[in-house]
Structure 1
Amino acid sequence: MTAGQRADRSESFGEALLGEVLDRAHELPPHLIGPLVADVVKRLGGRRPQVLLQDYGQLLLIPLPGDGLAAGEPQVIDDSEAGRCFLDAHPLEVPEDDGVRVVLPLLDGGDQVGVMAVTLDGVDDNDRRILNRFAALVADLLVTKHGYSDLFFGTRRREPMSVAAEMQWSLLPPLAMIMPRVAVAGILEPAYDVAGDSFDYALNADILQVAMIDAMGHGLDAATMATVAIGAYRHARRAGTGLPEIYDCMDRAVADQFGPEHFVTAQMLHLDTTTGRLQWVNAGHPSPMLVRDHRVTLRLTGPTTLPVGLGGPQPQTNEMKLEPGDRLLCFTDGLVEEHSAGEEEFGEDQMIDWVNQLERTGRGIRTVARALSHTLKRARAGHTTDDATLLLVEWRG
């Protein structure tokens, strides 16, 4: 193009198709996402479109209802093509008698809400490009419209959920965040009855800030205490204070609201994603584990202070330098203290064995977090009398 010439700005088919979705998105009611997907798929020459959402227990992919969307039974994540796409976060093309079934991950910031599937007569690079971009738009629509409707919540919920669990799920950030320098993935059990466990994180410029808490007790009391603790954590974090000051803010909030007989164990971490410098304070919480070269190598021990709410001394900040590829496993005591009547606790040694086995698979952090939680639950014969929560943080360097 010579000086003074204007670039060709006419619309191609793909731009016109995706541009129409963007033009309609801001006023699109949540229940019309399905018909919008169906309309775009039809114009691409496709059929049998499905949007499948992950259930809260992270076991199934459930078809989203909507005019034009194909119905069907929930698909087991660990035993289906849609589940394989979901776990690996990569598109799949499955030959069928009447064409090719294309399954695409619905990703938003590394958090995966589900998958989208469509059947075409055949697939070329133009189809792949348009479908990948359309799947990204659908994922964004599902995330942004979630706050306006109960449709997606109702689709994902497979059994009754306690009031305490409703509170905790509304408090949580996305379960996963995958960025070039750092990744985070967490999971809560029991998904439909969790109460006192919670976590929070924020990536502010180059600093990842993470908190994990476990409020004493069960039910609404624990959920309310966890809500106050996370609210105080966010308040102090957003004020730009350091780790000791964050602890003080949380400690005062819990003590003022609930009195001296109530407490929350907690740990707060700061990770510089450019250098790998990690700082943390521990308030009566189980020490995180460092996973290096696909195996647990050490515990992040160091000076601790009293749990939040008990008025402990200002915590001492611990520090270490991570290496690229290191993962931190943060967890609550419910993950290792579960036991059946007359039997020993599940214990950290068993958990470490399972971490090492899963790490050797080389799977991504989101898949490992899910697999670890479900594996540990099966090893406990599905028995969970306390919240069991874990969070993995990976520094990619």
Structure 2
Amino acid sequence: MSAADDPWPWRAALAELLRRNRLAQADELADEVAAAAAPLGLDATIYLVDQEQRTLRPVPRAGAAGPEPLAVQDTVAGRVFMAVEQAVDGNRLWLPLLDGSERLGVLTVVAGAAERLEDADFVAGCELFAHLVGHLIATKVPYGDALLKVRRTRRMSEASELLWRLVPPLTFVSHRAVVSAVLEPCYEVGGDGFDYASDESTLFFAIFDTAGHELRAGLGTAVVMSAIRAARRAGDGLEAMARAADEALAAYLPELRFTTAVLAELDLEDGRLRYVNAGHPFPLLLRDGKVIGALDAGRRMPLGLDDWNQPAGEAVLERGDRILLYTDGITEARGRDGAHFGADRLAELAERDAERLPAPETLRRLCHAALARYDGPPTDDATLMLVEWSSDAVRAMLPSAAR
């Protein structure tokens, strides 16, 4: 049966893409995607967002001159990426590329006639195809460098190479919560990092900032994250995780000074939050789009300084609450006038975007606003993490067709 005679021709396209993907290298994926879509009379092109989340860069095909990169700001493709929704531009359909909820870029599908894009079943098939492409991109990244190279605009430092392999995906969405993070300057990260894990009714999340710069700071964060993960996976609580980090730093990197951190556990059933603050800036709590205070309890000395007797702080969240965690590279960004970006400015921008943007886009804009304050290259890492306990936030993270 030909594609034209098949009552649902996308079945063959999806099966063909899965077959082709089985033995494809990372650098061959764009060609295999195009080949799977071709029997339907379509031309499919993958664009991946760069590490800075400023430009959408085409994944090249063998022997073909690819299209130019597209800005995230002020383009149709960029709006699709930012809002996680499709858009039609003439005979071209733009679709978000996601691995679950992680924004990877966009897929553009050029149809022979614009009228095809008025067919709801055809568009639904395109969305399913794009969904599969997003998952396949994520599966190929660990096995080659080609897709990583597309996302990079310059060489990455050794510390950044280490930390980007350690941190989890920037965005996680479950039925009850959204976690999103952003890490800058993405090519020269020193000691910043973040982590999260969600199992049963508990969401663990953490943010880290090791004193120092470059690879030595990155090694400190790597040791802390590894120690905390090992303790967490052995069933230890927050206080024991912090002690494990103290001991690991003392044993393996005694010359490093310390790591500041916030470690937290949120009960996704009742909103109860427990947290340990190891010398880190206080996270902000947002409710109904407004900052209502800081989480300033649970204080202890930074990790590595062996101060483990302090009890964890506690709070009770309401559904829809957001927790904004950050490192001092955000608030201490200094402009030409000498003024810091500051926690007040961070809170102001967080309130402005809280009601209208999903978590990843809120963070992307907040981080770019802070980095724009620097007079020249950033002098410190700048990391943001946003945690939202809300089913409404979850729906906002889904592609438009799935909401």
Relative to the length of structure 2, the TM-score reads: 0.90
Determine if contact 1:183/1:395 at 8 Å carries over to the other structure.
Answer: yes
Aligned-pair Cα RMSD in Å: 1.8
Q: Which AA in structure 1 matches 2:75?
A: S
Q: Give the equivalent residue in structure 1 for 2:45.
A: 50
Is 1:103–2:94 an aligned residue pair? Answer: yes
Per-residue deviation, 1:11: 9.1
In the alignment, which residue of structure 2 is the partner of 1:254?
A: 249
Aligned partner of 2:13 among 2, 14, 17:
17
SS of the counterpart of 2:240?
helix
Q: Which string of whole-angstrom CA distances, capped at 9 and with x for unpartnered residues, describes residues 184-205 of structure 1?
A: 1111111111110000111112
1:366 aligns with 360
Higher mean C-alpha displacement, 57-66 vs 344-353: 344-353
Offset of residue 110 of structure 1: 0.7
Cα-to-partner distance string for 1:173-223 (whole Å, 9 max, x where unaligned): 100112221001111111111110000111112211111100000011101
Task: Supply the distance in 2 between the matched residues of 1:196 and 1:277 (Cα, whole angstroms).
Answer: 30
Partner of 1:313: 308
Moved more, 17-26 or 154-163: 17-26
Q: Note the 1:169-248 alignment, pairs <5 A.
A: 169-248=164-243
Between the aligned partners of 1:389 and 1:109, the Cα distance in structure 2 is 22
Conserved 8 A contact 1:51-1:69? no
- Is the Cα contact below 8 Å between 2:297 and 2:314 reproduced in 1? no
Counterpart CA distance in 1 for 2:64 and 2:270 is 47
Letter aligned with residue 384 of structure 1: P
Structure 2: which amino acid aligns with 1:158? T
Q: Which residue of 1 aligns with 2:276?
A: 281
User: In 2 relative to 1, CA 358–380 (structure 1 residues): closer, same or farther, beyond 3 Å?
Assistant: farther
SS in 2 for 1:208: strand
**Structure 2 CA distance for partners of 1:68 and 1:296, relative to 1, 3 Å:** farther
Where does residue 94 of structure 1 map in the other structure? Answer: 89
Contact 1:266 1:282 (C-alpha < 8 Å) held by counterparts: yes
1:270 matched residue in structure 2: 265
Report if aligned partners of 1:206, 1:273 keep a CA contact under 8 Å in 2.
yes
- More displaced stretch, 182-191 vs 23-32: 23-32
The aligned residue for residue 293 of structure 1 is 288
Q: TM-score, normalised by structure 1?
A: 0.92
Question: 1:240 deviation in Å?
Answer: 1.4
Which of 119, 124, 132 is 2:110 aligned to?
119
Name which of structure 1's ranges 223-232 and 36-45 shifts more when overlaid on structure 2: 36-45
Distance 1:244 1:189, change over 3 A: same
Q: Deviations over 1:297-332 (max 9, x none)?
A: 110011311111111133311111111111100001
Does the CA-based 8 Å contact 1:214-1:265 persist in structure 2? yes
What is the distance in 2 between the residues matched to 1:206 and 1:144? 27
2:398 corresponds to? none
CA displacement at 1:68 relative to structure 2: 8.1
- DSSP 3-state at the match of 2:239: helix
